[in-house]
Amino acid sequence: MANDRWVTFDCFGTLVDWLTGHRRALAPFAGSRTDELIRAYHAFERPLEAERPHRLYKDVLIAALERGAQQIGFRLPQGQSDVLVREWGGMPFYEDVGPALRTLRDAGWKLAMLTNCDNDLFARTLERFPLRPDLVVTAETVGSYKPALGHFTHFEQETGIERGNWIHAACSWFHDIEPARRCGVKRVWVDRDKTGDDPAAATRVIPNLVDLPRTVGEIAALPPPARPRA
């Protein structure tokens, strides 16, 4: 596979509209405090993912929701701590995903997912994918969460990829764009969330996936970027 051309993706937030999915799962009991609860959840997700030993993502989902609810003084109804786990497979894809992935594959690109997810959780998402990716690398497989480099290292070892044939596309600057920069991989920041992070960390910045195939074509011929100094 060393001579294949690959676009790797983050999935949740980039391809899957997980904020809408979270709102749908939490709103029936959180009501007007839904967005507040989501923000509190995300405040705990990153620290939990960084803990050692590695814990499964489904455990992160439960613990972060419980801690977030406690922080904002919201009492989770009995039996709802695992609601995000139960509703995981039903989260919607962005409308621009299917056309972008099909256009890339028609142009000869192989597609891989580098996801901070468990194998069984991602299998539920995979059932609804617009097209099946050629490779999936999960946090459960590598035993770490991005922004650690385990996903990128595993993908490189699995495929034998030539660095110039690899482009990474993702929404999260923290989880994906900055670690891809550290790996010396060309990267497209799909800035759906308008976070205000440094655009210079990306090879290109686009607002959604509509222009991703064209952008990939434009940067494909560029030499791989140098790894930044430690």
CATH number at residue 57: 1.10.150
Domain boundary among 39, 61, 89: 89
Let me know if residue 228 belongs to a domain.
no
Let me know if residue 226 belongs to a domain.
no
Counting residues of the chain whose pLDDT is more than 70, the rounded percentage is 98
**159 with 193, same domain?**
yes
Poorest-pLDDT segment among 21-25, 53-57, 208-212, 220-224: 220-224
In this prediction, residue 223 carries a pLDDT of: 83
Read off the pLDDT of residues 68-109 as tens digits, 9 standing for 90 and up.
Answer: 999 999 999 999 999 999 999 999 999 999 999 999 999 999
**166 with 54, same domain?**
no
Let me know if residue 225 belongs to a domain.
no
Poorest-pLDDT segment among 26-30, 142-146, 220-224: 220-224
Domain boundary among 47, 69, 89: 89
Let me know if residue 151 belongs to a domain.
yes
Residue range of the domain that includes 120: 6-16+93-219
Read off the pLDDT of residues 37-58 as tens digits, 9 standing for 90 and up.
Answer: 999 999 999 999 999 999 999 9
Total domain count for the chain?
Answer: 2
**131 with 116, same domain?**
yes
In this prediction, residue 229 carries a pLDDT of: 65
* 3-class DSSP assignment, residue 121: helix
Find where tokens 């977030």 sit. 68
In this prediction, residue 148 carries a pLDDT of: 97
Q: What confidence category does residue 2 fall into, taking pLDDT thresholds of 50, 70 and 90? A: low
Let me know if residue 227 belongs to a domain.
no
**79 with 137, same domain?**
no
Nearest-angstrom CA–CA distance, 127 and 66: 28
Let me know if residue 230 belongs to a domain.
no
**128 with 188, same domain?**
yes
pTM of the model: 0.95
Let me know if residue 224 belongs to a domain.
no
**46 with 60, same domain?**
yes
Q: What confidence category does residue 3 fall into, taking pLDDT thresholds of 50, 70 and 90? A: confident
**188 with 161, same domain?**
yes
Mean pLDDT of 197-204: 95
Let me know if residue 1 belongs to a domain.
no
Mean pLDDT of 194-204: 94
**51 with 148, same domain?**
no
202: how many CB neighbours lie within 10 A of its CB?
Answer: 24
Q: How far is CA 21 from CA 34, 57, 89, 138, in A?
A: 12, 16, 9, 20
In this prediction, residue 230 carries a pLDDT of: 56
CA 65 to the chain's CA centroid: 19
- The CATH number of whichever domain residue 124 belongs to comes to 3.40.50.1000
**102 with 192, same domain?**
yes
**115 with 210, same domain?**
yes
Q: Can the peptide bond before residue 199 be classed as cis, meaning omega within 30 degrees of 0? A: no
Domain boundary among 33, 64, 89: 89
Instruction: Kindly state the DSSP code that residue 94 receives in the 8-state scheme.
Output: P
**70 with 82, same domain?**
yes
**104 with 212, same domain?**
yes
Rounded CA Rg of the chain: 18
Asked whether residue 228 carries a pLDDT value surpassing 90, the answer given is: no
In this prediction, residue 1 carries a pLDDT of: 58
